[in-house]
Structure 1
Amino acid sequence: MSKPEDVPSQSEAHSSTYSKERDLETGTITQHGPDDPENPRNWPSNVKWHYTLAVSVFTFISPVSSAMIAPALDKLGKDLHMTSKVENNLALSIFVLAYAIGPLVFGPASEVYGRVRLLQFSNLWYLAWNLGCGFAQTPAEFFVFRFLAGLGGGAPLALGGAAISDVWDAEHRGKAMGIYTLAPMLGPVIGPIAGAFISQNTTWRWVFWSSSAAAVAIQVVGLIWLHESHPATLLKWKRNRLAKETGNDQLHTSEMVEPLIQKIRGAMIRPVGMITTQPIIAVTALYLGYLFGISYLMVTTIPDVWAGWYGESEGIAGLNYISIAIGSFAGLFLNVLYIDRIYQNLKAKNGNVGCPEFRMPTMFIGSFIFTAGLFWYGWSVQGHVHWIMPNVGVVIFAAGTMGCLQGMQMYIIDCYTTYAASAMSACALLRSLAGFGFPLFAPYLYSDLGYRWGTSVLAFISMAIGIPASIVFWKYGAKLRAMSTYASG
């Protein structure tokens, strides 16, 4: 991907006033300025929020689908003649594995065809293959359909952060990112709750058919609320429109648009280069992956805990996923209330100069809460105390996860504004691999160590990564960015 298009930075665009006459005189169609109504950051507030909500619901359906089958894994395995617990869990996690590949194609493709077309196309792709999962008759068919559905489902996770940054500036991006970040957290909550009652009262196949029906409704929302926000695509459209109006085919844009194959090649190479040369991305990607891995581990083990350990029915056991929703909403509420306020206060104290490290307080607090929630959950389950106690641990864990996710994603976007898509792709790669792998080793972890020490090991690892990383980035992040050829500024 070329530098101007990876994820748009509009700082230069805002430095001068847009002039249609000047563009026609020079023959070069320039980036949208602060007086240009086509500039996504100049959209009316209600249009921005409709756009943000639309992107968020596109991002929401995929995590719903990824976890919706969790309560019905045993029924699915029995019906399709799967022979092991690992194979059953693979039916869930192979969808997440595809997340590691989809962004490498859909991310750069959005720089050629725009955000909206790729969001809508990827949703239709997901819809077709997810529908096919409900008709699968063998494990091989199911795994292939499930993986292909995941390729489309992972696209909004890759495009969403870039799309949000298209329309919101740094001072007001926190609330929008909070809504967007909530989507992949609530998906693994609502999905299993619905999946538990669906599979209990009908069949596991309706898990896929019902989520496909939801994808149709989301496609309609996209047709109404999604408007193209990618600056390079809008610039190309403006050039074509002015060329048609004036009859001047010599007009050209100020940005070079690479062929898609070159963008895909760059998308595959640059994230690897960034994750191996940028300490900020390496540590952030590692911790993001760890958070998602534990989240999916939790999703797959909650039915075992409350149905097997506490003896609840399948449907009632699924209701315990509400704890993740409560914690996620609590984390979102605190983030929306304070994240932009913290950033603006620190900016004011810094001579009114913003700094990516001003996102670190959110990550530090979130890491501490996340770790505490894991300890609470593991020791409550192993002690077989009242069922509400491990739910409290899950609430704490989910609230901390929201704080960490939002703080880290905002930090990456602020640090690597121009190259944010590649940076987020690097993070998505580890995140997807962790989401795929953690549920597979969960049965062995808890059978060998039990819930008390198995979860404690996970908490100790979190303590060793998240809290020190936020302190190091707070103190030395500016120096690390100054040494980087990718970091903005």
Structure 2
Amino acid sequence: MDETQPLLQDTNLVYVEREDDPSSKDIVDFDPNGDAENPMEWPLAYKWFISGLLAFMAFTVTFTCVSVVPVASRIVKDLNHGQSSKSASVLLVTIWELGEAAGPLLIAPLSEIFGRYPVMNAANALFIVATILAAISQSTALFIAARTLTGLAVASNVLNPAIVGDIFAKEQRGSAMSMIQLAPLIGGAVGPAISGAIAETMGWRRTIWMSVILAVICEVAFLTSFRETYKVPILRRKAARLRRETGNTSLRTVFDADDGSQSEKFWDAIVRPFTVLAGSSVLQILSVFGSVVFTYFYIMSTTLPDILETTYGLSPAEAGSAFMTYSVGSVISVIICNLTLDRIYIKLRDSNKGVGQPEYRLPLVIIGGFTLPIIVAWYGWAAQLQHPISTLLLSVAMVGSTMTFGFLPFYAYVVDAFGLYAASAMTAVIVIRCLAGTFLPLAAGSLTNKFGYGLGFSILGGASLLLAPIPIFVLRYGAKWRQGSKYTRDE
């Protein structure tokens, strides 16, 4: 599918006939009087069921990802014959992001050619195989390779927002996105707590086998209950059925005007995220901002266990449980986003004579952008000065809260601003985010080793503060800047 094709019209017609284009009578579209095949017209209960299924997979992915955080050093020692390595422990956690950076380059274009259903199921199957490989690994190198492959198979990050865009109207997407984002926060809290406790009793491999079981349950649910949501393959199947029923071989969808081969389309789809990124200055600057914001999750994840175990004397199980404070802060922000994101959008839309703009998703991002650097510095100094553990954990909760404000509404902005290009745009965002999440924590480790936690995190916070004005400029000028890109130009 060529993503440069025109978008489907908002008036969903079965046959669209224009006087200046007689051939348009053969274009197959959705019935404006109601069409059970149109994902936008599916029953609301089923749409929320799909959102719940996506949330379940997001929980499983995050559980699998972060469950190794409090026991990373133990895994390295176990697989390395008793020898520890701080860099290997950090890489064991963050290498997942390198896989996630590569995976969407295949997942997004494949979903735009074949649809969401087959790609999601294939990715889930690979996720299960890779997780099993991690569970049976006998060396650090093999474990890291398995973690990379597991990250590669994560389809939820790029497809979840796109699927929400497939089935929900713009004014309803914020609530659905917030609910889906709530699930990984729960996984981020439960994963470290369970893995820390199990590692002390039954070993770290049992935690990974739990991830395998969760992933299998998810895949069974997707195979049996999920339906195709992407309108391109749905309409193509509809056109094929009508050709058989009517004998009219000229029937086609608006997406079938391109004549390229399947391999050409696939290659075009692979490079399209970079094309979309290169063609949108707004996406470029917001991707940098969002990537730095998200990276603090991995920076905190790779520093907090050492702080809690060496400075405060906690066991791995207790250190793992401490991650719940991060999730509590994040959950509070998700609830706030769920209650306010669509309301803010509607209020700003109404004040603009009823004309909505994707930029109306950004007010909460601005709040997160300016508060996160301050909280990050607080987290560093609380560890440096050995403040009471309650103070440190409060700062961890605030990191989770301000981070969520900084990136969750940004995803809703991408879906709104890029429309049919949302999957490719989200892929570009994820690639940049994952590269930052893989390597910036290593740099953060060097900073804290040289300057200590207090000054080291203050430097990081100061660098983030320089990026904080970006969403303000996009809110103010983004609607005008978007007209310079064919991917975000208002029709």
Cα 1:292–1:36 change in 2 (3 A) is: same
Amino acid at match of 1:112: I
Question: Over aligned residues, Cα RMSD in angstroms?
Answer: 2.4
Residue 15 (structure 1) aligned with residue 14 (structure 2)? no
| Cα distance in 1, alignment partners of residues 94 and 488 from structure 2 | 33
- Counterpart of 2:354 in 1: which secondary structure? coil
Question: Which residue matches 1:161?
Answer: 161
Instruction: Provide the rounded CA distance (Å) in 1 between the counterparts of 2:278 and 2:188.
Output: 30
Equivalent-residue separation in structure 2 for 1:394 and 1:131 (angstroms): 32
**Which amino acid in structure 2 is aligned with residue 470 of structure 1?**
P
Task: Tell me which moved more, 26-35 or 413-422.
Answer: 26-35
Q: CA deviation at 1:411?
A: 1.7
AA of the residue aligned to 2:411: Q
- Paired with 1:324 and 1:58, the residues of 2 have a C-alpha distance of 20
Please name the residue that 1:41 is paired with: 40
Equivalences for 1:110-259 in 2 at 5 Å? 110-153=111-154, 155-256=155-256
- SS of match in other structure, 2:356: coil
Separation (CA, whole Å) in 2 of partners of 1:311 and 1:190: 21
Give the whole-Å Cα distance in 2 for the aligned partners of 1:203 and 1:261: 46
Asked whether the 8 Å contact 1:17–1:35 carries over to 2, the reply is no
Distance across 2 between alignment mates of 1:192 and 1:167:
33
Aligned letter for 1:205?
Answer: R
Amino acid at match of 2:459: V
CA distance in 1, matches of 2:378, 2:477: 32
Distance 1:31 1:457 in 2: 54
Q: Which residue number in structure 2 is paired with residue 261 of structure 1?
A: 263
Q: Is the 8 A contact 2:13 2:30 kept in 1?
A: no
Within 5 Å, which residues of 2 pair with 1:260-339? 260-339=262-341
Q: Percent identity of the aligned residues? A: 30
CA distance in 2, matches of 1:442, 1:403: 22
Unmatched runs of 5 consecutive residues or more in structure 2: none
Stretch deviating more after TM superposition (85-94 or 333-342): 85-94
In the alignment, what sits opposite 1:345? 347
Q: Please give the alpha-carbon distance, in whole angstroms, between the structure 2 residues aligned to 1:423 and 1:183.
A: 23
Q: Distance in 2 between matches of 1:328 and 1:277?
A: 33
> Partners in 2 of 1:21 and 1:218 — Cα distance?
43
Return the alpha-carbon distance in structure 2 between the equivalents of residues 121 and 464 of structure 1.
Answer: 41
Counterpart residue number, 2:479: 478
The offset of 1:318, in angstroms, is 0.9
Shift in Å, 1:185:
4.1
Code of the aligned partner of 1:101: A
Range 331-340 or range 396-405, more displaced: 396-405
Q: CA deviation at 1:183?
A: 3.8
Q: 1:145-203, CA deviations, whole angstroms, 9 ceiling, x for partnerless residues?
A: 222222112x2211111111001111111101112233444443332222111211111
Which whole-Å CA distance do the structure 2 matches of 1:149 and 1:253 have between them?
Answer: 36
Looking at structure 2, the residues matched to 3 and 86 of structure 1 have their Cα atoms a distance apart, in angstroms, of: 41
Mapped partners of 2:451, 2:443: distance in 1: 12
Q: TM-score, normalised by structure 2?
A: 0.92
Q: CA deviation at 1:266?
A: 2.5
Contact 1:300 1:439 in 2 (8 A): yes
Q: Secondary structure at the match of 1:36?
A: coil
Q: Confirm or deny: 8 A CA contact 1:18 1:35 kept in the other structure.
A: no
Distance 1:483 1:309, change over 3 A: same
1:67 paired with 2:69, answer: no
What TM-score do you get using the length of structure 1 for normalisation?
0.92
Give the C-alpha shift of residue 259 in structure 1.
5.0
Alignment partner for residue 375 of structure 2, among 373, 380, 385?
373
Shift of 1:252: 2.6
Q: Which residue of 2 aligns with 1:95?
A: 96
- What's the CA shift for 1:102? 0.6
1:413 equivalent in structure 2: 415
Q: CA deviation at 1:400?
A: 1.5
C-alpha distance after superposition, 1:423-442 (max 9, x if no partner): 11111111111111133334
Are 2:286 and 2:471, in contact at CA under 8 Å, matched by a contact in 1?
no
Give, in whole Å, the separation in 1 of the partners of 2:407 and 2:261. Answer: 33
What CA deviation, in whole Å up to 9, does each residue of 1:261-300 have, x standing for no partner? Answer: 3344224433333434422111111122112211111112
**Measured at CA, do residues 483 and 289 of structure 1 come closer, stay the same or move farther in structure 2, by a change above 3 Å?**
same
